[in-house]
Amino acid sequence: FQRKKKKILNEKTKMLDVVIVGGGASGLACCHRLLKHDPTLNIKILEAKDRLGGRIFAKDLKVADGTESYDLGGQWIGRSQIHAIRLLKEFDLSLYDQNYDGSTVNILDKGTTFYTSSPLSLAFQSVYFAYDMIQGMKKIDEYSQEISIEEPLSHPRAKEWDNLPMSHAKQYLFKHQWSRKLLDIAFITMFGFDLNQASFLYVLLYAKCAGGMTVLIDDRFPGNAQESKVKGGMFKLIEKLKGAVGEEKILLNRRVTSIHNHVIDDQNGFCSIRTENTEEFQCKYVVMAVPPHLISNIKMTPELPTEHKRLLQFSNVGCLMKCIATYKRKFWQENGLSGMSLHWPYYAEERSIEHPVSITYDATSCNGKPALVGFIGGSLIQKMRHLTEDKIKRAIINSFVLFFGDEAKEYIDIAFQDWSKVEDNGGCPVTFTTPGAVSKYGDVCLRQPHLRTHFAGTETATLWRGFVSGAVQSGERAADEIIRRLDTSYVPKDIEVALRKYDGEDMEYIS
């Protein structure tokens, strides 16, 4: 027994090529790219949780004739999200359209209900609202295109915009109360925070990474962020990546507590990594593929540069709850509805824990199993913390009934995921910086290597930041950085594509 134990310890402390901290989409994509370049590389992925996927997570729910898997984490993809699209093609995973056929339900303040072809088309109930919405969105898109993702502080108004909370910018950009409320709903779903928590510059950078705010919030826009879903669910991509990298390279329940960069000289050195259960791993390079707000929990030696540390201190993570209910029939479609709905209380603080869902979509599976998905976000989640699981489920169904009528009570199964309670995530969907942080400490430091430690994660992406595709891009970029250190002649094949807008062929839609 003693000899066997010693052998295990020697195996763990022998020199690895790369250790990847985090087994989400970015960590797995990083490992996959490294192994495609050199299958002989000795790599370990250390994941703190008892599962892979990070912010991608699925659960089997009861349906009329058995069970079906539904995404309770990241799920949507658009045709311009090239990095995720490429992986899906590689693994023969296909997409199907998010359903938008039918009317959108809009519950306004005081219970007024409008039925429209899309959320933005509600604007045409009022000429003033329409003009205000179009002009405000146009301004955000124009400003976002002026910002450099690589050097955001080079813009002459960068400091001004960074010190301006988005809630204040909203007052300047939009004058109509409905325009402002639509922005509230969109941001609660996209970011999981209320508008006073992040800066206007942060929002502009986020929009720039997606090609504009219109692409992010107009669900009828071609190539929008909620255009399609993966057949079988987004978690299929995680399963395929796991199979590609090999289960032997993945270690679950390994929460990293410290990383020590041992620098010998410019060319030589190594890293030692310790986990919560006192295991030690040694490697040539480390990739941190975890959300930025979790990096502060890991002791780094030598410490991170001051700017990087300070920016992490001023980074918060959104609060988002995703909920899904399954049904026997798509009764909303039978009634001419798309399954999309929005709740527009006049003030954000008026959102009620009795009807907490801000927005819903049709969540019918690729196999035609009917379901609705809804989102609850921002400060309202804090008010729901004291509720039991049954009361939260009841509140979710109350919202669905408000949108779609009493038939919503006849659900088969229901589940929700409060991401703020998930250990080693602490929130969802994205980490954001508070007003003033970027102008003081920069933004690009989040993805700049520190000695032999490299950084991935969707928050470090330059395309589709905050999305699965951004996670994949960041993991592949970190892999390329390490490959270039191992092989100075290496030139990534798709580096040009990663730095330019799509040309149609690169983004070919999967039917």
| Residues contacting residue 325 through CB under 8 Å, at least 6 positions apart | 371, 372, 396, 397, 400, 408, 411, 412, 413, 414
Residue with tokens 């955000």: 140
Q: How far apart are the first and last CA of the chain?
A: 55
Tokens of 196: 């006073």
Pick from 410, 321, 304: nearest CA to 357: 321
Residue 56, Cα to own-chain centre: how many angstroms? 8
- Residues at the binding site for substrate are 375
The answer to whether 366 and 96 are in contact (CB under 8 A) is yes
435 φ/ψ sector (left φ>0, alpha ψ -120 to 50, else beta)? beta
Tokens of 322: 């995703």
The answer to whether 56 and 193 are in contact (CB under 8 A) is no
- Residue 79 C-beta-side C-alpha neighbours within 13 Å: 16
Helix (H, G, I), strand (E, B) or coil at 463: coil
| Angle, alpha carbons 416-421-423 (nearest 5°) | 120
Helix (H, G, I), strand (E, B) or coil at 219: coil
- Residues at the binding site for FAD are 26, 47-48, 256, 459
Identity (one letter) of the amino acid at 262?
H
- Residues at the binding site are 26, 47-48, 256, 375, 459
Let me know how long the chain is: 511
**d(C-alpha 334, C-alpha 469), whole Å:** 34
Helix (H, G, I), strand (E, B) or coil at 469: helix
Identity (one letter) of the amino acid at 234?
M
